[in-house]
Structure 1
């Protein structure tokens, strides 16, 4: 399912027998993509509702801040990577206007379909493209996008370094990457409260609202396995990004990372 005609990159190969984490569980590297896909196939229909419940609506503030930091303007080409149900795409679509374009891309077709239906119901049609793609091997030309955003998706990528390199390739010189992701709380007291919420309340809410306790337990575990703020910033620099920085939001529960391709 793709509205894009570019030739895909070769998919990254996994070393036979290598292991990676799926939440707290060690799995064969080549299995992780399908396991993550199963999670998001399961939660897609209730994803927006659960986001509001899990964050008490604060995710909307985090995303608004990301938009404000993007510097997006009319006529630009923007990639909303791992864009899921299209919250950022909706806002970018209105900013770039008819002379610009927003590509909503996700590896998961169920999430992409929910996003497509939602955006079309909002009347946002003309300047949005939908592309099913793996962040590790983006099917777009070099130096193509002014801005790439990735909100709450990088932690689910098997080889994050490959995704960052692929994003760097498709950004125009002068373009910027914004990664909004769960991170490490800045105080031990907040971390204890957050752990209690994540591992005891969150799975129960998943069972009650989405009838899926296991998927939301995985989401909590995946957050803990994601690199902390300084580690992710170093990974971005290794991929070639310059002028990197991050801003902790809600006490470091979430961080917005920024980097530029000069």
Structure 2
């Protein structure tokens, strides 16, 4: 397949997978995708990644190394079902407080239910809002995390600027996202699995292949590791670095507000 990846933020603003949409047209389409997949989102993550997403998320949280002091506050964006937030709270020995923000109410409803069942409601709160316009004062959070969500944000550079704004000085930005596979042969196997198997698995499990075709295409459009790291740096973050997982299938990006 010809390389479809964008090299900067603007290419994602008007791309809904491989379709080009009008400015402002992407967000409603993305919202509809996640309303449709919310109830099976975590199950499909297991099926699509063979369970590897759990290891990637654990590695991300280990790299974050959440503080165990009381009053440490993380904002987890696009984190509706709570996967990252719950890991962070537990890693902090339930001293951290996590605000889970998502634009999609269906995803947040799943997260609230999971938090209640896990006894984590007192350590988490759930906010429905847009990553491009965070409803928080500047210098509010000690850390900002986003896992497998940044590629669904139309104006990525705006979301990165908002992340920088709400972080305290010394705060940490950490993003986990699907990226460009950098291992020969694995890239072909992964491409074949993504475009042929994942939509069909989605259809079998949920009765609907279309949302998963979009998710696969959005991964193929997202900037590669070096280009996304450059975007993070242009947003004001320093000491920007990244770590590849599973040959670059997923990548964790880190930056600091210094």
> What TM-score comes out, normalization by structure 2 length?
0.92
Q: Residue 98 of structure 1: CA displacement?
A: 6.0
Residue in 2 aligned with 1:60? 54
Counterpart CA distance in 2 for 1:187 and 1:92 is: 30
Q: Aligned partners of 1:170, 1:197: CA distance in 2, in Å?
A: 38
Per the alignment, residue 70 of structure 1 pairs with 64
Which structure is higher in RCO with an 8 Å CA cutoff and minimum separation 6? 2
Number of the residue aligned with 2:32: 38
Q: Do 1:154 and 1:181's aligned partners in 2 also have CA atoms closer than 8 Å? A: yes
CA distance in 2, matches of 1:42, 1:143: 35
Q: 1:204 to 1:99 in 2, by over 3 A?
A: closer
Tell me, yes or no, if the aligned pair for 2:66 and 2:96 is still in contact at 8 Å.
no
Q: Partner residue of 2:228?
A: 232
Q: Is structure 2 residue 29 aligned with structure 1 residue 25?
A: no
Cα offset for 1:95? 3.6
State how far apart, in whole Å, the 2-side matches of 1:55 and 1:122 are: 24
What do you get for the CA RMSD once the two structures are aligned? 1.2
* C-alpha distance in 2 between matches for 1:213 and 1:98: 38
2:112, 2:121 within 8 Å by CA — same for their partners in 1? no
Distance 2:128 2:92 in 1: 22
Distance 2:244 2:96 in 1: 30
Is residue 94 of structure 1 aligned with residue 90 of structure 2? Answer: yes
1:144-159 matches, cutoff 5 A: 144-159=140-155
- Return the offset for 1:129: 1.0
Q: 2:133 aligns with which of 121, 124, 137?
A: 137
Cα shift at 1:190: 1.5
- What's the counterpart of residue 7 of structure 2? none
Query: TM-score, normalising length from structure 1?
Result: 0.91
Flag the 1:189–1:99 CA change in 2: closer, same or farther, 3 A: closer
- Preserved CA contact (<8 Å) 1:97 1:127: no
Deviation string 1:65-119 (CA, Å, 9 cap, x unpaired) is 0110002112210111110211111122234456541101111110010011011
Give unpaired runs (5+ residues) of structure 2. 1-12
Residue matched to 1:173: 169
**Deviation at residue 212 of structure 1 after TM alignment:** 1.2
Q: What 5-or-longer segments of structure 1 have no aligned partner?
A: 1-18
State the alpha-carbon separation in 2 of the partners of residues 111 and 191 from structure 1: 30
Per the alignment, residue 121 of structure 2 pairs with 125
Q: Once the 2 structures are TM-superposed, how far is the Cα of residue 188 of structure 1 from its aligned partner?
A: 3.8
- Give secondary structure in 1 for the equivalent of 2:74: strand
List, as ranges, runs of 4+ consecutive aligned residues in structure 1 with deviation greater than 3 Å: 95-100
- Whole-Å separation in 2 of the counterparts to 1:182 and 1:95: 23
